Each structure stands twice: as C-alpha cells, then as structure tokens.
Amino acid sequence: MLRALVVLLIVVNALFFGWTRGWLDSIVGIKANGDHEPERLARQLHPELIQLLGPQAAAALQQRTCLELGPLDSDAAVQAAQAALERGGVPASARSTQTIDQPGVWVVATIKLTSKDFEARKEETYKRMHIDYQPLTGPADELPSLVLGRYASAAAANEALDGFSQRALKGLRVLQLQAANKHFSIQVAQADGAMQARLKGLKDPALAAGFKACAAPNAPAGTAASAASAP
C-alpha cells in the first residue's frame, strides 16, 4: 500500500513538472503560462503596421462630421449604394436617405434668330430698354435665341411673358429647359475618423459619386430655385 502511494506521488509530480514546462499544454488544454507573451505576440499579424497615436491624432479620430453620397438619380441607384455600404461595413443605423426636390426651369426667350442682323436688332432693343439677356444654351434646335428670364414654374414664366408683351416686346415665347425631378443622397451624419477612412476606401462602382461634406439644410432646393429665377 505504501509502495503504491509513493509511485502515485512520483507520477503526479512528474506530470506536474511536465505541465509546468509546457509539455502537456496541447493535451490538457490549459497552458502553464496562460495566454500571455511571448505566445500572443507570436500570433500577431503585421505588427509593423501598428502605430501609436499622439493626443492630437487621437482627438482627430474622434471628431465627427456629416458626409453624403450623391446626387443619385433613381431608387435603383440608392438601393445599389445602400447594398455597397452594407458590404463595406457601414451599418444601416449610421446612414439615412435624403430626398432633394429639384424644380423645373422655364425661360422667356426670343423666337429663333434667323440672321445676325435680326439678332443684332434684338440686342439693341433690349439694351435700349435696359433688359438683361443672355444667349440660350439649349436645346440645339432652338438656337440661336436670347433668354430674357429664367423661372421655376410655367406660371411664373407666362406671367413674365405677359409683362414683356405689355412693354410692346414681340417675338417672345416660353420654353421649358428642365422638368421638375427628384434626386437622392445618402448621409452618414456622425462619421468619426475611422468611419471617414472607411468611406474613403470603398471602391464599389455604386459609390462612384463619392462622399463629400453634407450641404447646408435646404441648400440644394434653395440654390436651384435661385438659379431658376435669375435672368
């Protein structure tokens, strides 16, 4: 009995000694040295790429800004971009879709000017009456022609045409240059430094428009309306 106990103690001590040396780690599943260096360091991938950030760099990563992708012209383009962002690791909770209403553009323009002499006489009349004008840039089959005003609706353009008619100006008409439509954008309103770098690195064709700083609220619609009403 005593002999068996001595043999057992020798075996236990031998096993313990082997475990402390790490010889039995793969057998018992418990590492003698725990999950510490140097084993953990040995498992690093490309440790040379790790860089310590100074206080200013760390603060820059924490700064948040609003970025948007667009304009996107259709629901299909929005869905493709959303799918690309999902694949790129940008969660749905971090982004939102914005709708931009773009008004149409109507102009009061002269009839097609069939000769240089006719055009020169029109320009002389408008200069004498202090009426601003500019060459029409499209559509091609209406050129050459002069534009006397741009408007955001057909009603406003026709009202302006009536005003020109009351001043005894003839040979004018209303042309629609652009129909009212909608555009879309995808915003990431709170993009920190890491998110900004991720968005910049996405190369999917659906994101070809690229992310840029968000426009001020209502800026697209206001800009379009101003441009439409300018002479």
The 10s digit of each residue's pLDDT in 93-102 is 999 998 888 8
Distance separating the N- and C-terminal Cα atoms of the chain: 113
pLDDT of res. 224 = 36
Residue 21 is classified by DSSP as T
pLDDT of res. 103 = 84
Does residue 24 have a pLDDT over 70? no
Tell me: do 74 and 132 sit in the same domain: no
Does residue 225 have a pLDDT over 50? no
Give the bridge partners for 98, in sequence order: 185
Q: What is the mean pLDDT of residues 111-116?
A: 92
Examine residue 56 and state whether it is found in any structural domain, yes or no: no
Q: How far apart are CA 67 and CA 200, in angstroms?
A: 11
Specify the higher pLDDT residue, 105 or 13: 105
Q: What is the mean pLDDT of residues 178-207?
A: 89
Does residue 174 have a pLDDT over 60? yes
Examine residue 136 and state whether it is found in any structural domain, yes or no: yes
Does residue 154 have a pLDDT over 50? yes
Beta strand spans in 53-171 (E): 65-72, 96-102, 105-110, 134-135, 146-151
Q: What is the mean pLDDT of residues 65-78?
A: 91
Please, which pLDDT band fits residue 192 given cuts at 50, 70 and 90? confident
Q: How much is the pTM?
A: 0.46
Tell me: do 6 and 119 sit in the same domain: no
Number of domains in the chain: 3
Tell me: do 139 and 126 sit in the same domain: yes
Angstrom CA distances, 93 to 97, 103, 143, 226, stand at 11, 31, 50, 34
Least confident of 27-41, 60-74, 131-145: 27-41
The residue range of the domain holding 94 is 62-102+181-225
Looking up residue 91, the CATH number of its domain turns out to be 3.30.70
Residue 160 CA to chain centroid, in angstroms? 38
Examine residue 71 and state whether it is found in any structural domain, yes or no: yes
Tell me: do 77 and 120 sit in the same domain: no
Specify the higher pLDDT residue, 4 or 41: 4
